[in-house]
Amino acid sequence: MSDHREPEDFLPGKEPDLGMEVEEFELALEKQRVHGRTALWADVWYRLRHNKMAMVGMVIIILLVLVAIFAPLLAPQDPLYSPLYDQNATPQEKAESVKQPPSWKHWLGTDDLGRDILSRLIYGSRVSVEVGIVAVLISLVIGLFFGALAGYFGGWGDSVIMRSADIFFAFPTVLGAIAIMTVLGPGLINVFIAIGVLGWATIARIFRSSILSVKENEYVEAARAMGASNTRIIWKHIMPNAIQPIIVYATMGVGGAILAEAWLAFLGLGQQLPTPSWGNMLTQYLPFYTTDPWMMFIPGVAIVVSVLAFILLGDGLRDALDPRLKGSV
């Protein structure tokens, strides 16, 4: 860079030489500010785009979300429609409708009640996406709040918060969720709460340690020397720099929540039948796994692929956000 310039004769109060008109300069500043801010994230996006696996994950996630949103348009049939209960259907149609292998009419076949599996799968994605997003949001709100409190202020509050988090670590997520669900009763809303509440501890712990390391940076000390308030230090200096591991964890956490919902639904605690979710589809098709294993296979693959997609994206984000790669050579 040939940016170097010796300090010229220049005193405070004197008009700085901008090399252009003042208005022009203001405009240029505004433009560059937008550009500058995006440039920081453009950097991350650049690295992410060059990570093939992360891009695969991202495409799958986008498709999943689109499918969930446009489910009524995409589903070839009403997911609840069963010819068995259709008074217009002939007895022969009824007999031939159940457990059909994939065909042009039913791309993924039909289930034991003659319902279109593809339609149920498409509608089931809504549950997964909802659980993933809502549960992780709940975890984030609780986890970030307590993590920030513990990390920034330390002391007794830190000990109390972190020991409570340890209690949550003491039992496996699924067991904990089952316990909570038993108290709250089955149902989708309670699944959000159970998974969300259980997830806070990890987020709090990650955020706390991230804050602890960011806090040691000299720029935080610099802000303090200037007389910045705690609120300012937290919001301007610590948060933006401590949030990166949380972005990674939350992304992967969505996958985890989807898996946990499937577990709970499989145990009959999640979304109640007949409304389809991938988890309760698994339960529903379990009895046929010896005779017609493909039925169970379909929701199973859907779960695995979406969970994997979130893990791949999270992994890619971790590499892309790594500040060690940042800066000049």
Partner 1 sequence: MANKGETLLEVKGLKTYFHTQEGVVKAVDGVSFSIARGEALAVVGESGCGKTVTALSVMNLIPDPPGRIEEGEIIFEGRNLLEMNDREIRQVRGNHIGMIFQDPMTSLNPVFTIGSQISEAVRVHLGLSRGDARQRAIELLRMVEIPQAERRYKMYPHEFSGGMRQRAMIAMALSCEPKLLIADEPSTALDVTIQAQIMELIGRLREEIGLAVMLITHDLGVVAGVAETVLVMYAGKVVEYADIDRVYYNSRHPYAWSLMRSVPRLDEKKDRLLTIGGSPPSLINLPPGCSFSPRCPFAEEVCRREEPPLREAEPGHLSACHFAADFEQHGQGVKA
Partner 2 sequence: MAALVEVRGIVKHFPVGKGIILSRLGGTVKAVDGVSLDVEEGKTLGLVGESGCGKSTLARLMLRLIRADRGEVIFEGRDILKLKRQEMQSVRRSMQIIFQDPYASLNPRMSVGSIIMEPMAIHNEGSKQERRRRAVELLTLVGLQPEHFTRYPHEFSGGQRQRIGVARALALNPRLIICDEPVSALDVSIQAQVLNLLKELQERFSLTYIFIAHDLSVVRYISDEVAVMYLGKIVERATHDDLYGNPRHPYTVALMSAVPLPDPVKERERKRIILEGDVPSPIDPPSGCRFHTRCWKRQEICTVEEPPLEERAPGHRVACHFPENTP
231 binds partner 1 (CB under 8 A): no
Q: How many Cβ atoms sit within 10 Å of the Cβ of residue 71?
A: 18
DSSP string across 21-79: -HHHHHHHHHHHHHHHHHHHHHHHHHHHHT-HHHHHHHHHHHHHHHHHHTHHHH-SS-T
Best CA proximity match to 270, nearest among 168, 212, 188? 188
Interface with partner 1 (CB under 8 A), residue from 35, 50, 52, 105: 50
Residue 329 binding target from partner 1, partner 2, none, CB below 5 to 8 Å by type: partner 1
Interface characters, 160-199, with partner 2 (x: CB under 8 A)? ----------------------------------------
Residue 50 interacts with which of partner 2, partner 1, none, CB < 5 to 8 Å by class: partner 1
Q: What is the DSSP letter of 81?
A: -
Q: Is 8 in the site for partner 1 (CB under 8 A)?
A: no
Task: Say how many C-beta atoms besides its own lie within 10 A of residue 99's C-beta.
Answer: 18
- The answer to the question of residue 329 lying near partner 2 (CB under 8 A) is no
Pick the binder of partner 2 from 12, 104, 170, 231 (CB under 8 A): 12
Task: Mention every residue, 6+ apart, whose C-beta is less than 8 A from residue 41.
Answer: none
21 binds partner 2 (CB under 8 A): no
Of 297, 278, 277, 276, give the one whose Cα is nearest residue 288: 297
Amino acid at 242: A
List residues near partner 2 by CB under 8 A. Answer: 1, 3-8, 10-12, 14, 16-19, 25-26, 28-29, 32-33, 35-37, 39-40, 217-219, 221-229, 232, 236-237, 240-241, 323, 326-328
List residues near partner 1 by CB under 8 A. Answer: 1-4, 6, 50, 328-329
